[in-house]
Amino acid sequence: MNRVIETLIDKRGHELVNVSAELTVLVEIGFSEDEAVVLINNVISVEKWLEIRIKRDKLIRDTDYLVQPDYPLSNSLKSEIIVYRQALRDIPQSVGDPDDVVWPQKPAIS
């Protein structure tokens, strides 16, 4: 996968745009291997969070119809759905590492 760092300030203070997030490229433009690894890991983390948000948003959309006022659902089940949806919304703020996300269980709807 060709990962890209959209904007990056090099060691001389120059702004670089769309830099390949590859170890050899980053070392070649003046970053140490350790610095390059940190930059690459940051790009990977951003990608993971984006994937998580996409999944989260889909799971929320999948339950939109259940919280409509005219949808025939008991109040207790509707409350469970609301709690589930809030737990989904809280994921980016409540989890520090994208590898540690625990997805809430969707309430059973019969």
pLDDT at 1 (0 to 100): 66
Structure tokens of 54? Answer: 């996409």
Burial of 21 (0-12, 13-18, 19+ CB in 10 A): buried
Query: What is this structure's pTM?
Result: 0.80
Give the residue extent of every domain in the chain.
4-100
Model confidence at 93, in pLDDT bands (50, 70, 90)?
A: confident
If you average pLDDT over residues 80-102, what whole number do you get? Answer: 93
Give the whole-angstrom CA distance, residue 102 versus residue 1. 26
If you average pLDDT over residues 77-106, what whole number do you get? Answer: 94
For residue 7, the SS3 value is strand
Residue ranges of E strands in 10-74: 15-20
pLDDT tens-place string over residues 8-66: 998 888 999 999 999 999 999 999 999 999 999 999 999 999 999 999 999 999 999 99
